[in-house]
Amino acid sequence: MSGISKEQVYHIANLARLKINEEEAEQFTNELDQILQMAEILNELDTAHIEPTSHVFDQKNVMREDVPDKGLSLEEVMKNVPEHEDGLIKVPAILE
């Protein structure tokens, strides 16, 4: 009994915006069925006493704490601005 039908392969190809012919559909049906059979073997494993994990290695965040810091003053910012008015940066209009 096949784990995936040719109609499902055509549906998946359509979702992926792929055009496949009859020969490719047959090939993908066989290949995907083999992949599903291999994955089904994993269901035979007893995982009742295995704690769920998102990664096999114990990883810790190596980044520093995100601590707020005082930013640039308005005067410092405006030194690098080509055009400004009343403390606001002027940019070219993109809408009419």
- Give 86: exposed, middle or buried? Use CB within 10 Å, 0-12, 13-18, 19+: exposed
pLDDT of residue 1: 43
Domain spans of the chain, in order of start: 6-44
CATH number of 6-44: 1.10.20.60
**Confidence class for position 64, pLDDT limits 50, 70, 90:** confident
Rounded (10°) angle between helices 6-15 and 22-41: 100
**Confidence class for position 2, pLDDT limits 50, 70, 90:** low
pLDDT of residue 8: 95
Helix (H) or strand (E) holding 39: helix 22-41
**Model's pTM, two decimal places?**
0.48
pLDDT tens column, 5-60: 999 999 999 999 999 999 999 999 999 999 999 999 988 989 888 888 877 777 77
